[in-house]
Amino acid sequence: MLELRHISKTYNPGTVHETCLFTDFCLTIEKGSFVSVVGSNGSGKTSLLNILCGSIPVDDGQILMDGQDITHMRDFNRYRRIGRVYQNPSMGTCPTMTILENLSLADNKGRRYGLTRGTNRKRIGDYRDMLASLGLGLEDKLGVPVGNLSGGQRQTLALLMATLTPIDFLILDEHTAALDPKTAEIVMELTDKVVKEKGLTTLMVTHNLRHAVAYGDRVLMMHEGRAVLDKAGQEKRDTKVEDLLSIFNEISVECGN
């Protein structure tokens, strides 16, 4: 379970650019839940992810992971239990290294490094099987630099790497935004499969409203650092893209757009 308790966050305090984003913000995500988060730019979606992952500190409040207070825990320690896939696949993979080298790095996540080879040749067969299950032909390209792959192939690899070692939480930061529609569908189908097979608690930020209603068991809409919509279970299943668009339009009118 992930819990944010009474979170407050102000950017650039004491300056002309001071922006109060979160004030007494609370959110609980049950274990095994797949939550889609939507909202306009500046609504707090990405800041929410960064707060959970430890990329930015909070001014007040608590962050709990399965009851453990991780509010002041460094980000690299949090990532032992969290996998994150970014919008830009270059942030989740190393383009100058081969697929095999990238997978080996991900496979060693959380382990101590000594004077041993970074690539475990005994795992090559396992890597090839994992890649073959994706149906993208990557199993025959283990020696190819990741920078030579297509955007969809790289993002698929990034998802595989993020979930290669045992984790409890998966963070998806607009991970299909840079892909063409067909490739985005492939990546989303794979995402749904991985989340279900591994039973991961997942938080997905997306601008694709159809993905938000089609995947997961809960949908949140953020606006100015607060949740203006929160539907789960049957309410989530009954939610349509038009429902989300209607709220977006209401907010737009209120903001004078």
Per the prediction, the chain carries an average pLDDT of 89
CB-based contacts of 249, cutoff 8 Å, min separation 6:
none
Report the percentage of the chain scoring pLDDT > 70: 93
Find the mean pLDDT for residues 234-257: 83
Find the mean pLDDT for residues 55-71: 93
pLDDT per residue over 149-167, tens digit each? 988 889 999 999 999 888 9
Find the mean pLDDT for residues 185-205: 93
Find the mean pLDDT for residues 165-171: 92
pLDDT for the residue numbered 118? 60
Find the mean pLDDT for residues 116-120: 62
Torsion of CA 70, 72, 75, 81, to 10 degrees: -10
Find the mean pLDDT for residues 140-154: 90
Kindly tell me if the per-residue pLDDT of 121 is higher than 90: no
pLDDT per residue over 198-242, tens digit each? 999 999 999 999 999 999 999 999 998 899 999 999 999 999 999
Q: Which two tokens stand for residue 70?
A: 């991780």
pLDDT per residue over 83-113, tens digit each? 999 988 778 888 999 999 999 888 887 666 5
Please work out, in degrees rounded to the nearest 5, the angle formed at the alpha carbon of residue 93 by the alpha carbons of 110 and 214: 95
Kindly tell me if the per-residue pLDDT of 63 is higher than 90: yes
Closest-CA residue to 53 (of 19, 83, 88, 93)? 83
Closest-CA residue to 81 (of 193, 197, 1, 155)? 1
pLDDT for the residue numbered 115? 47
Starting at the edge strand found earlier in the chain, the sheet holding 218-223 runs 82-85, 169-173, 201-205, 34-39, 218-223, 226-232
Closest-CA residue to 200 (of 52, 29, 14)? 29
Distance set, CA 239 to CA 140, 165, 219, 221 (Å): 42, 34, 9, 12
Query: Contact, 144 vs 137, CB < 8 A?
Result: no
pLDDT for the residue numbered 257? 55
Find the mean pLDDT for residues 186-198: 92
pTM equals 0.89
Kindly tell me if the per-residue pLDDT of 19 is higher than 50: yes
